[in-house]
Amino acid sequence: MTKKGSVQRGDLVIATVTKVNPYSVIVKLDEYDREGMIHISEVSRKWVKDVKKVVKIGQTLVGVVVNASSDSISLSLKRVNKYEAEEKLKEFKREKKAEKLLKLVAKNLGIKYDDAYNSLGIKLKEKFGEMFLAFQAANATDGKSELMKNGLTEKEASEIMAVAKEAMEIKELVMKKEVDIKCYKPDGVEIIKRILSDAQKKYKVEIKYISAPTYSLSLETKNAKTGERKLTEAIDEITKNLGSSGECTLKG
């Protein structure tokens, strides 16, 4: 399903390479019915002499929109960090899977997919952030009531739950939180590394550096409440170990 609305400056987008020129790359924006261009200077943080050695036709990339108008869209690859690219690709794959599930729901309800997307898909995105997360919620023990609580009719909730339970494996949810950590002591970097390492081992959470001063804490769980509690406990532990002097702080 092509995204509604226009491409905006700062948007992360999925792009497929369709043409490689000496000084630019032409791409198709997979989520929009648009074409984009990446200048050679925006392909990599390193100096690029030959674009063809960096990207290939048919390759899927994650770019950020640096300029957008009704006539043209310019993207950058070098301004997207590894974490952002990985998360965007995961989100895109989840959305494609959710679209397939929604098509099954539309068929069972006897309506066209476009009508199902407009009446259900958009609502699920608004309530759950992603359609895929809505199908995950539907696959839970109280899935039907969770969907109805978020504005779906009993019939709609029943069909979504039935499709989710038949098509989706029971997988653990991925819970995430982002925090900003700063430490102004002379050995601040080492202090942060040690405290995060201890929290990672104690609470079995994955901690990734995004960009100064932001870190991502994540874990997999089959119970959202339990996952939320564990992340909160890990963050509280980190905050306590940073101390109360004000030299080391955590916000998030």
pLDDT band at 105 (very low <50, low <70, confident <90, very high): very high
Q: How far is CA 66 from the centre of its chain?
A: 20
135 and 108 in a common domain: yes
154 and 104 in a common domain: yes
177 and 163 in a common domain: no
For residues 77-94, average pLDDT = 93
Residue 160's CATH number: 1.10.150.190
238 and 184 in a common domain: yes
239 and 183 in a common domain: yes
List the domain range (segments joined by +) for residue 247: 173-251
- 91, with CB counted inside 10 A (0-12, 13-18, 19+), is middle
Our count of domains for the chain comes to: 3
| 7 within domain boundaries | no
pLDDT band at 76 (very low <50, low <70, confident <90, very high): very high
pLDDT band at 172 (very low <50, low <70, confident <90, very high): low
| 216 within domain boundaries | yes
How far apart (Å, rounded) are the C-alpha atoms in residues 56 and 82?
19
Task: Name 172's Cβ contacts closer than 8 Å, sequence gap at least 6.
Answer: 220, 221, 222
| 6 within domain boundaries | no
Residue 201's alpha-carbon distances to 167, 194, 195, 226, 231, in angstroms, are 34, 11, 10, 17, 13
SS3 content of the chain, % helix, strand, coil (to 5): 45, 25, 30
Domain boundary among 128, 151, 167: 167
| Closest-CA residue to 176 (of 147, 137, 210) | 210
pLDDT band at 244 (very low <50, low <70, confident <90, very high): confident
Per-residue pLDDT tens digits for 13-48: 999 999 999 999 999 999 998 999 999 999 999 999
| 4 within domain boundaries | no
